[in-house]
Amino acid sequence: MADKLEKPQQITFDVTDRCQLRCVTCSKWKTVASDVISKELTTEEWKKVLDDLRNWLGEGFWFCFSGGEPFLRQDIFELAEYANSLGINVASMSNAFSIQHLYEKIIDSPIKSLNISLNAINNPIIHDESRGRQGSYEKAIDAIMTLKKLRDEKHKDLGINIATIVFPENVEEVIPLVEFVTKNKINGIMFQLLDDKESFHGYNYQRGCNTAGYKMPKELKVKYSNMAKRMIEVADRLIEMKKAGHSIYNSYEQLEAMKVFFNNPDDILKEIICDVGSTNYAIDPYGDVRLCFNMEPVGNIKESKPEEIWVNENSEKCRIRTKTCKMYCRMLNCNFKHNFANFNKSFMHKVKNKIIKILTGKA
Ligand SMILES: C[S@@+](CC[C@H](N)C(=O)[O-])C[C@H]1O[C@@H](n2cnc3c(N)ncnc32)[C@H](O)[C@@H]1O
Ligand code: SF4
Ligand code: SF4
């Protein structure tokens, strides 16, 4: 590689593939618990991973528990405590479906940032239908509001954030969600472009996919085209709201890139080379390490030190593959932020006229 390889910056522990929801956007829930529990890394094995990462990366780095639903693991608090004792910062994602009995524990734990997934605010049915289980909206709202109240009462500094996927049915919920965040003094919100649900697979039944030969499914193309015009307007509004001080975590560049994407998704493939190979380090429930979450593992943490995996032959091959990848998940939050260097200003100028055409119906 021409550029000097730095250490990874986006570290994820996918501690389980198991999940109690049935999201229409994700297929991780197809994992059968009895097939995987005995294969998942044990508490002691995750602690060893933390020791090894601490030796390699030093103090002060962040990692995020994700999955599957991370709070289905009973040892999540023990692992968070252990990470904290090593000077490592802990964040977590959650669908908030089964954490009601854990609120106090979460507040008293060293978890510093909790991202709760919420796909609607005005219309609970949109959220519940996207999550595949009735009552998930009510539980997500309860978690956000109660955790916030407890945090404030106990003067703790847990960051409580909302993570929202944007899809055709919830485009009109985007701006009200930002207003909800501001009105209720939630720390912030991040919007995630809907990606192919095949990208969100359980690692026990799918180790990787054919990224170079990827073709966007027709059904997904139709979804994008149905929401394109409105999403370009909404992205513009988000940019204005962010400038006005609303706590929207997506960068201005990512919001601009969303407009380009909705104008023509293929422009993104031409203009942004995915950079996950030099930034991301995701460890799956079985110890397999991936730089790109859609490609085969580059090593296993039980067999090699994390720093050896980072520079091994598989990782080098993976980095080369990312350069010709035909998938759109470079737009996702965990993949996008390091990309903007590749997203040049002349391109922005070039696409501006196209975006105007689509808005005026002359595309
Ligand atoms: C895979 S989940 C794991 C954590 C947890 N189970 C949850 O839902 O918050 C991580 C994030 O991916 C989002 N997600 C799921 N399917 C997606 C898709 N097809 N495109 C984009 N984001 C998706 C979820 O809404 C969630 O915010
Ligand atoms: S997005 Fe999260 S909550 Fe939904 S099925 Fe996937 S892992 Fe479960
Ligand atoms: S766009 Fe990036 S993250 Fe997505 S499959 Fe390709 S290389 Fe992997």
| Ligand 1 proximity of 327 Cβ (cutoff 6 Å) | no
| Ligand 3 proximity of 96 Cβ (cutoff 6 Å) | no
Please state, in angstroms and rounded to a whole number, the distance separating the CA atoms of residues 282 and 332. 15
Question: How many helical (H) and strand (E) elements, i.e. helices and strands, does the chain have?
Answer: 14, 9
**pLDDT tens per residue, range 228-286:** 999 999 999 999 999 999 999 998 888 999 999 999 999 888 888 888 999 999 999 99
Q: How far is the CA of 273 from the centre of ligand 2 (A)?
A: 27
Q: What is the reported pLDDT for 363?
A: 47
pLDDT beyond 70 at 96: yes
Average pLDDT of every residue of the chain: 92
Please state, in angstroms and rounded to a whole number, the distance separating the CA atoms of residues 286 and 302. 9
| Ligand 1 proximity of 163 Cβ (cutoff 6 Å) | yes
Mean pLDDT (whole number) for 136-160? 96
Give Dmax over CA atoms of the chain in angstroms.
Answer: 60
Q: What is the pTM of this model?
A: 0.94
Please state, in angstroms and rounded to a whole number, the distance separating the CA atoms of residues 111 and 123. 30
Mean pLDDT (whole number) for 106-132? 98
Please state, in angstroms and rounded to a whole number, the distance separating the CA atoms of residues 159 and 142. 16
Please indicate whether residue 63 or residue 332 has the higher confidence score (pLDDT). Answer: 63
| Ligand 1 proximity of 279 Cβ (cutoff 6 Å) | no
Q: How far is the CA of 361 from the centre of ligand 2 (A)?
A: 36
Please indicate whether residue 154 or residue 347 has the higher confidence score (pLDDT). Answer: 154
Find where tokens 């609607």 sit: 120
**pLDDT tens per residue, range 14-34:** 999 999 999 999 999 999 999
Mean pLDDT (whole number) for 68-92? 98
Please state, in angstroms and rounded to a whole number, the distance separating the CA atoms of residues 38 and 183. 45
Q: How far is the CA of 356 from the centre of ligand 1 (A)?
A: 31
| Ligand 3 proximity of 276 Cβ (cutoff 6 Å) | yes
Which atom of ligand 1 is nearest to 116's Cα? 9
Mean pLDDT (whole number) for 34-62? 97
| Ligand 1 proximity of 285 Cβ (cutoff 6 Å) | no
Q: How far is the CA of 139 from the centre of ligand 3 (A)?
A: 32
Q: What is the reported pLDDT for 270?
A: 85
- Could you please report the per-residue DSSP string of 314-340? HHHHHHHHHTT---SGGGSHHHHTT-G
Please state, in angstroms and rounded to a whole number, the distance separating the CA atoms of residues 28 and 34. 14
Please state, in angstroms and rounded to a whole number, the distance separating the CA atoms of residues 28 and 132. 13
Mean pLDDT (whole number) for 319-330? 92
| Ligand 3 proximity of 274 Cβ (cutoff 6 Å) | yes
Mean pLDDT (whole number) for 204-208? 85
pLDDT beyond 60 at 338: no
CB 198 within 8 A of CB 25: no
Q: How far is the CA of 55 from the centre of ligand 1 (A)?
A: 30
**pLDDT tens per residue, range 212-225:** 889 999 999 999 99
E strand or H helix at 160, and its extent? strand 159-166
Name which residue sits closest to atom 4 of ligand 3, judged by CA: 329
CB 299 within 8 A of CB 214: no
| Ligand 1 proximity of 278 Cβ (cutoff 6 Å) | no
Please state, in angstroms and rounded to a whole number, the distance separating the CA atoms of residues 319 and 328. 16
Q: What is the reported pLDDT for 231?
A: 96
3-class DSSP state of 180: helix
Please indicate whether residue 208 or residue 96 has the higher confidence score (pLDDT). Answer: 96
Strand partners, 16: 67
Q: How far is the CA of 170 from the centre of ligand 2 (A)?
A: 17
- Could you please report the per-residue DSSP string of 271-320? H----GGGTEEEE-TTSEEESSTTSPPSEETTTS-HHHHHHSHHHHHHHH
Which atom of ligand 2 is nearest to 67's Cα? 7
| Ligand 1 proximity of 195 Cβ (cutoff 6 Å) | yes
Rounded to 10 degrees, the C-alpha dihedral 116/117/122/127 comes to -140
CB 67 within 8 A of CB 33: no
CA 290 to mean position of chain CA atoms = 15
